[in-house]
A and B are shown apart, each in its own frame.
Chain A
Amino acid sequence: MPHRIEKDRARFRNIVRGRIKKNLKKYITQGELIGRKGKELVSIPIPHINIPKFRHDPRQAGGVGQGEGEEGTPIGRADGTEPGAAGSGPGEHILEVDVPLDELAEMLGEELELPNIEPKGKKNVVSDKSRYTGISQTGPESLRHAKRTFKRALLRQVATGTYDPRNPVIIPIREDRRYRTWKTKQEPEANAVIVYMMDVSGSMGEEQKEIVRMESFWIDTWLRRQYKNIETRYIIHDAVAREVDQETFYHTRESGGTVISSAYKLAKQILDQDYAVADWNIYFFHFSDGDNWGEVDTDECLKLLRNDLIPPANLFCYGQVESPYGSGQFIRDLREHFNEEEKLVLSEIADKEAIYQSIKEFLGKGR
C-alpha cells in the first residue's frame, strides 16, 4: 500500500522540481529566497500546488472566529496565515522543499542550456581517490562492518538453532566477520579560481549591487558544480582597489570616482602571487556601471587586459549594470578593442530580469 502513495509523492516532487525549472527565471530574481545554510542546503518555500477553482475573494468574504478580543483586534495576516472559514480544510500551506545546491545548479544548467565546462589542458594533473566499494571477508579490524557482521552471526545462529529469542545474545565468530573494501581511482583534478571585481563607486546604487550579488551567487553555484576545488577572491574598487572578504564585497558602499585599472592591477597581483597559470582554471568577473575616469585609465585597462589578464584566463566576463548616473562608456571601449577576443565576454544587465540572459552569455560558451 505505501508503495502506491510513494508513486504519487514522487510525481508531486517531480512537479515541484519541474515548477522550479519552469519558473527558474523568477527564482533567480528572487534572490532573497535562496540562502546558503549549513550543509549546502537551501530552503525554498514552495507553495502548495493549488488547483485553480472558482472561489470567493477571501479578502471580501471575512468569516467567523472564536475567542477574546475587542472589535478591531487583528487576528491574522492576509498573506498565507489567513484564518480558515468554518468547515473548510486547512488554509494555505507553505511547503518547505529542500533542494540541494547541487540540484539547483543542475536545474540552472538545464534551464539556461549551459554546456559543461571543459577544464583547460591539465588532464595530467591527477590525484588518487579512495572509495569504499564493497564488502569482503577479510580486512583490517578497523574497517569491520559491525552491522553486517552481526547480521551474518544472527543468520548463522538461527540456521543452526542456537538462537534463543528469549535471550537474544549474538556472538560473531571469525567466519561472520565482514569488512569494508575500497578501490583507488585516479581522477583528474581541476582547480579553479574566481576573481570577482566590483565597482563600488558612488554611482553604483543598492539595486545595482543587488543585481551583482544575485548574479555572482548563480555563477558561483554553477562553477562549483563544475570544479571540485574552487577558490574565490573578491576585489572592490572605486578610485583605488582592495581585496576584501565575501561579506564586505556584497555590503560595502563607497563613494568616489572610478579607476578600473586599479582593480585590474590588483587582480594581476593576486594571480602572480597565488595561482600558477598552468595549474588553475582562472575566471574573472567584473561588474561596473562602466563610467571610468578618463580615457587614459581606459587605455591602461585595455593594456592590462590584453597582456596580463585575458591570456591566462579561461574567461574574462565584464558585466555592465545599468545605472542612472553612469555613462556606460567602458563596455563600448572594450567592444571596440576586443571584438575578436573569444575569452572576453561582455554583457549589459539592465535590470533583475536580465540576470538570466547575462548568465547565459557568460557561461554559455563552456569555457
Chain B
Amino acid sequence: MNLTAELAAIKDEIRAYAIDYGLDFFETIFELVDYDEVNAFAAYGGFPTRFPHWRFGMEYEELSKSYSWGLSKIYEMVINNDPCYAYLMKSNAMVDQKLVIAHVYGHSDFFKNNLFFSKTNRKMMDVMANHAIRVQRYIDRFGHEVVEDFIDCCLSIENLIDPHSVFRTSPESSEQNGAATNEHPVERFRFRSDKEYMEQYINPPEVLKKQQESWAKEQESKMRVPAEPQRDVLAFLLDHAPLQNWQYDILSIIRDEAYYFAPQGQTKIMNEGWATYWHSKMMTSKILSDSEIIDYADHHSGTVATSPGQLNPYKLGVELFKDIEERWDKGRFGKEYEECDDYREKANWDKQLGLGRQKIFEVRAMYNDVMFIDAFLTPEFVMEQKLFAYEYDAGSGYYHISDREFQVIKQKLLFSLTNWGQPFIFVEDKNYLNRGELYLKHRHEGIDLNINEAQDTLHNLQKLWSRPVNLETVIGGKKSLLTFDGSEHTVKELDKAEPVKAE
C-alpha cells in the first residue's frame, strides 16, 4: 500500500461507513498507480503478473491507445483475492478517488459473499504468478513459438468449461454396476408364459430380436467415453488427449484461469450494479463535501450512461437493485400484489414492510445474472428503463429495434446471459467411428454457430487431439457435421434417415 496520508485517511473513513452499512468484505489493499501501470494491470485482468502472451500485449496496446486519445479511461479495477487488491489512478481528482474506493468496497463485499464466487481461489495473485513462472520455464525450454502456438490453441477453446461442475461434489464416474449385465440378453426381454403354444404370440421372435439389438446398442453406448455428454471439454482433453507433460500443464493453467474468471462473467450485471449502488449510497449520504457534488454527479452519470445499442451493466444492475429494494420496502411482491388488477392501486401499493435492504443483501449472496433477471425483471421496470430487443436486418445491414414486448425482451436478455451468451458444446464420444476421432455436439437453441469461426476452432482443437475432430451442429435448419481431419475441412449433412432417438 502506497497511499498518501490524505488518501489513507479517506480510505479508513469510507471503510468505516461500509462496515456501518453492513458490507462484509475482504480486507482491501489500494495501490496508487499511474496511467501506464493501470493499463498494464487492466490488460492482465487486474493482476500484476500473467503468463507471457501476446493477447495481453494487444489489450495493453488498445487500452493505452484509447487512453492517450482520450477515448476511455479506466475508473476502477479490483481483483477477487483475499486480501482484495484495487488500484487508484494517481492523476484522478480526489472526488474520483472517493468514488472508486466506495465502489471497490462494494465489489469486495460481493466477491466475498456471492455464492458463485465461493469456489474461486482466493489466493489467485500467487497462483497467477506461479502460472507465469511455469509458462516462462516452458518457453525457455521449448521455444517461444512452440509454446505460444499451443497457448493460442488452448485459448481458442477456453470457454468450453462447465461453471456448474465446481458445485458438484460426487465425481460423475459413479457407475451403476447393475447385476442385470450378467443376464442372458435374450432372456431379458422374454415375457414369461406358462403356455408353450402362446409363446410365439407373447414373444414374437422378430420383436425379441429387435429388442435385443437395441439393447446391444445401448450397451455399446454405455461403453462410450464419456458415458454422459461432458460439457467441460477442457477437463476431457486433459484426461484423454495425447498431450505432453508441458502441454498438459499449460492446458490445466488455462482451465484454472477460465474457472477463476467464470463467476465474473456470470455476475457482471449484479456485481457492477451492487458496487454502483453502494458508491452512490455512501457518496451521496456520507462522503461528499458540498464542493464535490457537481463533479461527482458528472462522473456518476458517466458511469451509468446508456447508448442505444448497448446495455450498460452498471445501469441495469443498479436500477434493478433499487427496484428490488423499493418493492420489498413497499411489499410489492407475492400473490396478492401479482393478482391485483387495479393499476392505480398497484402504483400506490405500500405496505411499509421495510424489507428492502435485507432483500438486496440476500439477492447479492444467492443469485447470478441469469437468476437475477429471471426473478426480478418486471414489465414496469422494462417500460421505465426503455429496454428493447433488437435484431439484425439482412436487407439494410443494420441492427434495428424489433420489439418492446416484455416477454420477448426478457427471453433475449436471458439468452444473452446464459452460458455468457455462448453456445453449449458437449463432448459426446472420444472414439467416433471407432477411429479415435473426437465427436462434439452443439446443443442448438435456435441460433446457428458462426461456421467459419467454428471451423477455425476445430482446426485448433485438432492440434490438441491429433486425430480428426467432429462437431455436430445445425446449419440453416439442417443437422450437419463439421469435420477437420488435420488437413481438410468437410461439412456433411447428417442423415435424416437416422432414428429420432438422437433427440
Contact = CB atoms under 8 A, between A and B. Distances in A.
Nearest to A82: B399
Given A71-B401, A71-B402, A65 B310 contact: yes
B355 interface: no
Interface stretch (A56-64, A123-131, A138-146, A324-332): A56-64
A70 B401 CA distance: 7
B66 to A, nearest CB: 9
A57 B390 contact: no
B293 interface: no
A1 B390 CA distance: 43
Given A67-B388, A95-B61, A56 B449 contact: yes
B205 interface: no
B400 A72 contact: yes
A59 B416 CA distance: 13
Given A65-B308, A66-B316, A73-B400, A87 B57 contact: no
Nearest to B43: A5
Contact of A86 (B152, B316, B404): B316
A87 B420 contact: yes
Nearest to B424: A54
Nearest to A14: B54
A57 B448 contact: yes
Given A12-B58, A66-B316, A87-B313, A51 B392 contact: no
B421 A56 contact: yes
A48 B58 CA distance: 8
B315 A66 contact: yes
A8 B417 contact: no
B412 interface: yes
Interface string A62-102: 11111111111111111101111111100001011000000
B390 A83 contact: yes
B450 interface: yes
Interface in A126-166: none
A9 interface: yes
A51 B156 contact: yes
Nearest to B56: A8
A93 B389 CA distance: 23
Interface in B352-406: 369, 385-394, 396-404
Interface in A31-63: 48-49, 51-63
A88 to B, nearest CB: 6
A74 B423 contact: no
A277 interface: no
Given A10-B57, A13-B57, A54-B423, A63 B416 contact: yes
A74 B398 CA distance: 6
Interface stretch (B7-15, B183-191, B242-250, B454-462): B454-462
A86 B401 contact: no
A77 B392 CA distance: 9
Interface in B402-446: 402-404, 409, 412-413, 415-417, 420-423, 425, 442, 446
A65 B62 CA distance: 25
A66 B386 contact: yes
Q: Which of B393, B398, B417, B471 has the most CB of A within 10 A?
A: B398
B280 to A, nearest CB: 18
Given A5-B40, A12-B54, A78 B397 contact: yes
B143 interface: no
25 contacts: A1-B37, A9-B57, A12-B55, A12-B57, A52-B459, A53-B157, A54-B159, A54-B423, A54-B471, A55-B454, A56-B449, A57-B447, A59-B392, A61-B415, A61-B421, A62-B399, A65-B401, A66-B386, A67-B308, A68-B386, A74-B399, A75-B309, A78-B398, A83-B309, A87-B269
Interface of A: 1-2, 4-5, 7-13, 15, 48-49, 51-79, 81-88, 93, 95-96
Interface of B: 36-37, 40, 43-44, 48-49, 52-58, 60-62, 65, 148, 152, 155-160, 265, 268-269, 306-313, 315-316, 369, 385-394, 396-404, 409, 412-413, 415-417, 420-423, 425, 442, 446-451, 453-454, 456-457, 459-460, 471
Given A88-B420, A88-B421, 14 more contacts: A2-B37, A2-B40, A5-B43, A49-B55, A51-B155, A54-B157, A56-B447, A61-B416, A62-B399, A63-B416, A66-B312, A67-B386, A71-B401, A87-B311
